[in-house]
Amino acid sequence: MVTGERGLSIRFLVTRMKRILLFLFFLILLIGSQVPLTSVRSSRPPEARLAFFPPAPVIKAMSGDQYQFLSHVISLQCLFYFGTLVEERQPVKDWNRLERALYTSTRLDPYNMDAYYFAQAVLTWDARRPRQAIELLEYGFSHRTWDWYLPFFLSFDYAFFLKDYAKAAEYMAKVAELKPNVVWLPTLAARYFYEGGETALALAYLKEMISTARNGAMKKHLEIRAEALEKILQTEKAIQLYRERFHKGPEKLEDLVSVGIIERIPEDPYGGTFYLDKEGRVRTTSKLAFGGRSGGAHKN
Amino acid sequence: MKRQLIAFVTLSIKGGIRDRVLAAILVVGLLLLLTTPVVAVFSMRQVVALATSYSLSVISLVGLILTLFMAMSLLARDLEQRSIYTVCSLPISRSSYLVGKFLGFAVVIFFALAILGCFTAGAIFVLERLYPPDRLITWDAFLLGLWFQYWVFLITGAITILFSTVATSTFLPLALSVGIYFGSYSTEAVRYFVQSAGGQERLNPVVRLLGRLVYWILPNFSAFDLKSQIIYGVALDSKAVLLAQLYGIGYLGVLIVLAMIAFRRREFL
């Protein structure tokens, strides 16, 4: 009887030990795989971090009434992906995927302002695809008819990138209609249509974008661009001074340093080098993007 | 008759309140709604819009799960526990049993939606003060949107109950209801495509006819979707709202009558 009881308790202990050992085995497997898995996932190329999204009609058909939130999820994914690249100072390698994601996002929710803001901030300068950005923004403005930001962006894009001043004026008139009390608007409009100072115009526009930017990565991205433009503007002013003094333009930027107008050639925050092109305009080898990659439609 | 109906409504409500699975789903929904500010601050330009979109998505998803679970177990539980035989042996009409059960379900879903709605309204109210948007949320659109969301759940619940009255398994009504729920947000788009020049060109007449048939048979849940009006303050079309409400009443009525007929004819072995 006693032997039987002892046998039972031994069997109970063995079963218990087996369970503990099994638990420990799986726990070690979990921790042992999670650590290398994390490092493998983190070392993926940045392009792999932006998922492939099916076309908007497919998402809409599969998601019931969740499509609006999914539109936000897609635009946030674009922001996170781009934010990581800004932090790591890396260029975007697959603009097509990013552009497609933004297109899908706006087709799912045509009112999603985050997608339009992102398209304006990134597709125009970085991807050098102002026409595609304009297409998205015009689609957005056909829905967000009350929002003065969209015609403001469109006006800038038409004036700065496409040199279509008639269209720019058309959209600026819409901004004035929707937001009649904006103090800085007449100044900006004057620069658009009379002064023609492109760098000053771009700076004024960027400062407005920065003042309302909420996302840290996006703000940083815009500030770097503003810093670069500020340096270009300073150099342009120095060239103007050189012209006034010597009645001709400098052949290279180093001439400005040798005559003492500037102490040194400013540093491009994108890691490039400023230089003078054949027309005597200030350019940079970075093309105002990390990695200096051209997206196609527009140059510097 | 009236007393019997009230008794079944009360029974159904009590069943819903006591159900721990339903309570757990509701708690998960409330916990998800608590994360609204965390999700919303990621937005670049529209914190309140993202918060509203996220919370409405949570309400819709949690409400759907609650609806399906409750509607599925409404008849199935009585069949499983064999209490349906007792009910059938009493001098009570099967219709009042079914209608009473459905009304109880409607009351429980209403209160669940009201709780989720209050949480959402509170979160939006606070976020609106912290991050003032260009356009404030219109609360009448918000209430109307929640009301229409409620009608979507009522119709989905009635579909599940209708299938439960004829099906012998509990899984089939659930699977069919889920399919119909998701499909019903696309019927309008399917109809537009079938009628468009592209649709006329690309689709053969049989597919076009099927597309039209699907639109007329399945509920059109797009008509009840007022999310753009709530989130972005897009103007409400009062005519469309009124017609959608009448359409909802009509559709629900047809479903309940069909379920009553099917339930009356059902033989319990």
Q: What are the structure tokens assigned to A143, written together?
A: 């829905």
Tell me, what's the ipTM? 0.85
Place of tokens 């920065």: A210
Chain B residues within 8 A (CB-CB) of chain A?
A: 42-47, 49-50, 53-54, 56-57, 60-61, 64, 134-135, 152, 181-182, 185-186, 189, 221, 225, 227-228, 231-232, 234
Q: A3 pLDDT band (50/70/90 cuts)?
A: low
Q: What pTM value is reported for the model?
A: 0.80
> Cα–Cα distance between B37 and A28 in angstroms, integer?
36
Cα–Cα distance for residue pair A214/A114, rounded to 1 Å: 11
The pLDDT of residue A298 is: 34
Name, in order, each residue with C-beta under 8 angstroms of A1's C-beta and a sequence gap of 6 or more. none
Instruction: Report, as an integer, the average pLDDT of B75-88.
Output: 75
pLDDT in tens, A128-183: 899 999 999 999 999 999 998 899 999 889 988 898 888 887 888 888 788 876 65
Query: Looking at the predicted structure, is the pLDDT value of residue A216 above 80?
Result: no
Using pLDDT thresholds of 50, 70 and 90, give the confidence band for residue B120: very high
Q: How far apart are CA A188 and CA A59, in angstroms?
A: 41
Taking an 8 Å cut-off on Cβ atoms, the answer to whether B44 and A215 are in contact is yes
Is the Cβ of A225 closer than 8 Å to some Cβ of chain B?
no
Facing residues of A284 across strands? Answer: A274
Residues 6 or more apart whose CB falls under 8 angstroms from that of B218 comprise B180, B183, B184, B187
Per-residue confidence (pLDDT) for residue A141, from 0 to 100 = 96
Structure-block tokens of residue B235: 């103007």
Q: In this predicted structure, what is the pLDDT of residue A192?
A: 55
DSSP B235: P
Q: Which of B38, B45, B221 to substitute to test the interface with A, most A CBs within 10 Å?
A: B45
Q: Summarize the confidence of residues A216-228 as an average pLDDT.
A: 82
**Arithmetic mean of pLDDT, B108-136:** 91
pLDDT, mean of residues B10-23: 84
Spell out the alpha helix ranges (H) of chain A.
2-42, 56-62, 67-88, 95-108, 113-118, 130-143, 149-160, 165-178, 185-190, 198-212, 216-246, 254-258
Binned at pLDDT 50, 70 and 90, residue A247 comes out as: confident
Query: How far is C-alpha A122 from the geometric centre of its chain's CA atoms?
Result: 4
User: What is the structure's pLDDT at B10?
Assistant: 86
- Amino acid at residue number B173: P
pLDDT higher than threshold 70 for residue B217: yes
The reply to whether A64 touches chain B by the CB within 8 Å rule is: yes
Task: Residue window 66-105, chain A: list those with CB within 8 Å of chain B.
Answer: 66, 68-69, 72, 76, 79
Inform me whether the pLDDT recorded for B130 exceeds 80.
Answer: yes
Please check the confidence at residue A195 and state whether its pLDDT lies above 50: no
Per the listing, tokens 């898995």 go with A37
